Amino acid sequence: MYNDAAKECNIDLAKSYMVGDRLSDIQAGKNAKLYKSVLVKTGKELTDEAKELADDIYENLYEFAKSLPSLVTGDTVIRKKLP
């Protein structure tokens, strides 16, 4: 699925993030060789295996988004200030 999307949308998987809330999400990101596989807490119980495999863990998607310094499009860096 990731490879199909990367091909169709010209996405560099080595520079891409996978953000998910369960072990299978993190495993999929690792299998696709994405830059980072990030685990977010969504009220579900996180398994020890998911915590161990994840590159980073955030309280929620908003906290993860705030951690990103910029959005990059080609050679253009677009700095966004989040509320």
Per-residue pLDDT reduced to its tens digit, 69-80:
655 554 444 454
pLDDT of residue 2: 83
Q: What does the pLDDT read at residue 83? A: 45
Top-tier CATH class for 2-78: alpha beta
Listed in sequence order, the residues at least 6 apart from 59 whose beta carbon sits closer than 8 Å to its beta carbon are 40, 41
Q: With CA atoms as reference, report the closest residue to 79 among 48, 71, 68.
A: 71
Mean pLDDT within 7-13: 90
C-alpha span between 4 and 59 (Å, rounded): 30
**Could you state, in order of their start, the residue ranges of all structural domains in the chain?**
2-78
Contact 34, 14 (CB under 8 A): yes
d(CA 17, CA 20): 10
